[in-house]
Amino acid sequence: MQTIHSLADMTCWSNEVIGSGSTIALVPTMGYFHEGHLELMRSASRLADRVVVSLFVNSLQFGPSEDLASYPRDLARDSSMAADENVDILFVPTDIEMYEPDFNARVRVDGITDTLCGKQRPAHFEGVTTVVAKLFNIVKPHITVFGQKDFQQFCVIRKMIRDLNWDIEIVAHPIVREEDGLAMSSRNTYLSREERGKGLCLHKAIQHAKKRFDNGLTDAELLKSEIHDIISAYSGVSIDYISVVDKNNLSDKEVIDSNSVLALAVRVGQTRLMDNCFLGNDTETSN
């Protein structure tokens, strides 16, 4: 595995690969890898000839009171983990080259960003789409792989690709979970042992929702009320949102059907956790 820091060197490598007739898959990350990231890399290696994993803690997607400074970072650890997978390039650009002092451009996707996390974090997705657009232009991938845990992020990037006519296939990888059901996240490292136990309220809520839908419940408001009661039973957990949305456009659903996604976000202490599940025929990784 080769590590590249320079934007120009990254594009030069991609041009050579594309010129040889090979395909490139990009896995965008902010680092501090866990098994979920490694699953994305493995998926990418099955889908394309060469794999690029970007590692960049993107300042544009953090709000002024969020955890940019404390976000977990360990390049040596991440490099070692990526090297054990079929990764060709670990692309680690610098802040100064990604965002030069006179950088003023932004990429914005309206509508689909106004709900869920976008409602709670108004500037977040503009930062996400801007950095991903830059990565697409630098790396020139044929395929990009995103985790399904942040389902809204996947939908926003998919919409951006379609609206801007990028010739890139976007692939969603199912959520990868710990053995107890907690969705894997770099931010899980913030949790104390007690808080981690409380974070399992999300998985409990999802299990309840799937069972209720399988047994015939279609009233979204009733399901949300039941989930509110489940999560509220855990002290020290505050709810950001409980939503049932359409899996294609994230519009709110009143009647649950096979196109419905349950999306959840809570704060356990100071840590924000997200989870989701399809309430139809889509499946997710359970391990």
Residues involved in catalysis = 37
Contact partners, residue 68, CB within 8 Å, separation at least 6 = 57, 59, 62
What stretch of H or E contains 45?
A: helix 35-47
3-state DSSP assignment of residue 265: strand
The closest alpha carbon to 55, from 190, 188, 186, 189, belongs to: 186
Q: What residues pair up with 263 in beta bridges, in sequence order?
A: 243, 276
User: For residues 209, 211, 214 and 216, what is the CA-based torsion angle, rounded to 10 degrees?
Assistant: -70
Q: Which two tokens stand for residue 217?
A: 């419940």
The Cβ of residue 116 has, within 10 Å, a number of other Cβ atoms equal to 27
Hey, which bits of 175-252 come out as E strands?
Answer: 237-246
Of 213, 257, 216, 263, residue with least CA distance to 240: 263
Cα(29)–Cα(274) distance, integer angstroms = 17
Contacts of 122 (CB under 8 A, 6+ apart): none
The Cα 33–Cα 168 span in angstroms is: 24
Rounded CA-CA distance 139/245 in Å is 33
Which of helix, strand or coil describes residue 105? coil
Instruction: Tell me the C-alpha distance between 17 and 11, whole Å.
Output: 10
